[in-house]
Amino acid sequence: MATESKRQQRFAGVIQQDLAELFQREGNSWAKGAFITVTKVRVTPDLAIARIYLSFLNTKTAKEDLKQIQSKTSEIRYKLGLRIKNQARIVPELEFFLDDTNEYVEHMDKLFAEINKESRNDS
């Protein structure tokens, strides 16, 4: 995979910042009780598609919350367009994905804790 150009990175940063503010203000109406964090935004070279990775805190139903967000994609894209209309020629299509990095880190921490516990018991 080729590295992103400065233009892509800059545009992704704009989208990430504006979406973060949007989710902070209105995210509760899209995913009840969840705190939504925009962890990463990747933009295609033609800036037509933005892949947004979301992390959900304070919820046990992250996959269902993601489906709720995905069902509201057109509404979110419209609201994003109102925010970036002076900075972008087109508003990219939005694709939302679950960023499960936190879950992976927790899983690895548990595994390491078990390994440490076993090694202490063996000594």
Query: Which stretches of 25-119 are assigned E, i.e. beta strand?
Result: 35-43, 49-57, 93-98
pLDDT at position 36, please?
86
3 pLDDT band, cuts 50/70/90, is confident
Beta strands at 35-43 and 93-98: parallel, antiparallel or unpaired: unpaired
Q: Which of the two residues, 123 and 14, has the higher pLDDT score? A: 14
Q: 24 phi and psi, to 5 degrees?
A: -65, -40
What are the chain's domains? 6-122 (3.30.300.20)
Q: What is the pLDDT of residues 73-104, one digit of tens each?
A: 999 999 999 998 888 888 999 999 998 776 77
- pTM metric for this prediction: 0.79
For the segment 14-46, what is each residue's pLDDT rounded down to a tens digit? 999 999 999 988 887 777 878 888 999 999 999
Q: Which amino acid appears at position 22 of this protein?
A: L
Residue 33: per-residue pLDDT: 78
CA pair distance 113, 25, nearest whole angstrom? 38
pLDDT band at 121 (very low <50, low <70, confident <90, very high): confident
